[in-house]
Amino acid sequence: MEDVQKHQAAIAMPIDRVGVKGLKLPIIVRDRESGIQHTVAEVSLSVDLPAEFKGTHMSRFIEALEHWSGELDYNSFRSLLDDIVVRLQARSAHVRFVFPFFLRRNSPVSGANGLMDYTCRVDGMLKEGKLTFTLGADVPVMTVCPCSKAISNEGAHSQRAEVRIRTRFNGFVWLEDLIEIGERSGSCQVYSLLKREDEKYVTETAFANPTFVEDVVREAAKGLAEHEQIHWYKVEVESFESIHNHSAFAVIESASLA
């Protein structure tokens, strides 16, 4: 049958990335406590396209996923990218997995436990045989405004914030490491299940430790910089302000990619 995708392009212009996104796929990820965890990822796959070709072969992305092991680690991720490059005759390939990762958290006083979900992601690009691998986690925390506390006779405004961590590293890094660094950076961590005694603890702990968004991003960056395996990081904190009709945010990116 005629291969229309290999026809000459009407506009001879290279495309940086072309592919498929929004795919749902069951995957297996590493879990420090249980060994493995089953979850479902939203997947994006793409390749570069030279100027002379009209289109890429979209079905081959799905074929690559169908032949992939489904267990998400560095080696299997590399093999998926290698397969995409070969199947689509590409010079570079990019894959992204975004998935919920679950941890069971004990409430701070009652000990009641419930599942917390964290949005995690793995990004990878294979270009000229070199793999760039990025691991990330989005971590919710609670913050109390130091300025509001200082100027108010009663109370202070508080809100949830999200610590978005992206890392590159040598060796192996647990998702739990990134989540714990994020949770330590706010006024207090948040929980899925709180009894009254837990609510008292969380409120009083947060108000004893007020933090600007700038404080949170610096604390998270410090934790990432001190991690022995991490050689590059980017951390963004967004505070969903409770008394403003906007969010506040701050970003720190490390200088070295070596």
What would the pLDDT profile of 209-226 be if each residue is shown by its tens digit? 999 999 999 999 999 999
Task: Kindly tell me if the per-residue pLDDT of 146 is higher than 70.
Answer: yes
DSSP 34: T
- The alpha carbon dihedral of 22, 25, 28, 31 has a sign of positive
Mutual angle of helices 74-88 and 59-66, in 10-degree steps: 150
- Of the candidates 102, 141, 115, the residue with the CA atom closest to the CA atom of residue 193: 115
CATH 1.10.150.120 fits 1-99, yes or no: no
CATH 3.40.1210.10 fits 107-258, yes or no: no
Do 1-99 and 107-258 show the same overall fold?
yes
User: To the nearest whole percent, how much of the chain has pLDDT over 70?
Assistant: 93
Q: 116-125, 145-154, 167-176: which has the minimum mean pLDDT?
A: 145-154
The residue-averaged pLDDT of 166-179 equals 95
Question: What pLDDT sits at residue 256?
Answer: 62
Higher-confidence position of 221 and 90: 221
Q: 47-56, 85-94, 178-187, 197-206: which has the minimum mean pLDDT?
A: 47-56
Task: Kindly tell me if the per-residue pLDDT of 1 is higher than 70.
Answer: no
Question: What pLDDT sits at residue 2?
Answer: 44
Alpha-carbon span 128 to 115, nearest angstrom: 41
The residue-averaged pLDDT of 164-189 equals 96
Q: What is the pLDDT of residues 18-53, one digit of tens each?
A: 999 999 999 999 999 999 999 999 999 999 887 787
Torsion of CA 254, 72, 46, 43, to 10 degrees: -100
Domain ranges of the chain: 1-99, 107-258
Question: What pLDDT sits at residue 13?
Answer: 82
Task: Kindly tell me if the per-residue pLDDT of 116 is higher than 50.
Answer: yes
